[in-house]
Amino acid sequence: MSVHDHAEMLRDRKAAELRALTRKLIVGIAFSIAIMLGAFPQFLRAIGLDAVAGVLEQPLVLFLLTIPVQFWVGSQFYSGLWLLVRYRSADMNTLVAVGTLAAFAYSTVATFMPRVFERGGLAPDLYYDTAAVIITLILLGRYLEARARAGTGEAIRKLMGLQVRTARVRRDGREQDIPIEDVRIGDEIIVRTGEKVPTDGVIIEGQGSVDESMVTGESMPVEKTVGASVVGATMNRSGSFVMRAMKVGKDTVLQQIIRL
């Protein structure tokens, strides 16, 4: 798989993950608002929505509204429980899953078996809103993080787009175009006017005026002659030269910039 194909695959995967997070976040926010209004119905009654408040404050309604948030919107947190059970190792997912499940389980018992608490002199309080809001807020944080990563990833993909796909090498006395992935250290590469330098190397024949703004930020082309170093993905504005490849693949300057 080429570098470009790999970048495309990563972009599609990240886009799919972001879409899935977006769907879950929308559902989480919508249901959490409804649950919060049911937990604090006085806000609805203050604006004359007594009928809506009467429905949402029912324990069974709150239970049903919390189920999709707890087990679908928050499904990614349950990987932490698996880590805890199998490896006795906890992470952030473990804390969220255990905490919200405890609140949900307590509220479920209070909903369907309130006398268990009443016999002990305790009030059968409900904490559905706590479970739902915690899950939704943490998911919001992960959504914002994913958006930030997507922006960074787009910048990286633009850098990867600077890399050429093929190089014209001179092997066994003849010229041939080969995929950039097949270029080896020591290959003699021909670069003509208007072409990008395929990889990092040293000029061994000819000369050129190379635009290195990608690396240095300097817009004026730099004159390059025999013995001068050239960097992959920079543009040869004029002249032509033959260079010897000194670094290829992940060792090039461009790939090092991408990995920063």
**Which of 135, 160, 185 is the last residue in one of the domains?**
160
Q: Are 69 and 32 in contact (CB under 8 A)?
A: yes
Radius of gyration of the chain (CA): 30
Kindly report the CATH number assigned to the domain that includes residue 182.
Answer: 2.70.150.10
Q: Report the range of poorest mean pLDDT among 54-58, 82-86, 248-252.
A: 82-86
Q: What is the pLDDT of residue 165?
A: 86
Mean pLDDT of 81-97: 77
Q: What is the pLDDT of residue 149?
A: 75
If one counts the domains in the chain, the total is 2
User: What's the distance, Cα to Cα, between the start and end of the chain in Å?
Assistant: 22
**pLDDT averaged over every residue in the chain:** 86
125 and 191 assigned to the same domain = no
180 and 110 assigned to the same domain = no
Q: Express each pLDDT in 118-144 by its tens digit.
A: 777 777 889 999 999 999 999 999 999
CA-CA distance, 38 to 44, in Å (whole number)? 9
Mean pLDDT of 3-8: 56
Residue 85 has pLDDT above 90, yes or no: no
Q: Express each pLDDT in 93-103 by its tens digit.
A: 888 888 999 99
Q: Which domain holds residue 196?
A: 166-259
Mean pLDDT of 247-256: 84
Q: What is the pLDDT of residue 82?
A: 74
Put residue 239 in one of left, alpha, beta given phi > 0 → left and psi -120 to 50 → alpha.
left
57 and 146 assigned to the same domain = yes
**Higher-pLDDT residue of 202, 253:** 202
Q: What is the pLDDT of residue 94?
A: 83
84 and 103 assigned to the same domain = yes
Q: Which residues contact 127 (CB under 8 A, 6 or more apart)?
A: 103, 104, 106, 107
**What pTM was estimated for this model as a whole?**
0.63
CA-CA distance, 122 to 114, in Å (whole number)? 9
Residue 53 has pLDDT above 80, yes or no: yes
Q: How many CA atoms lie within 13 A of 37 on its CB side?
A: 21
CA-CA distance, 79 to 87, in Å (whole number)? 12
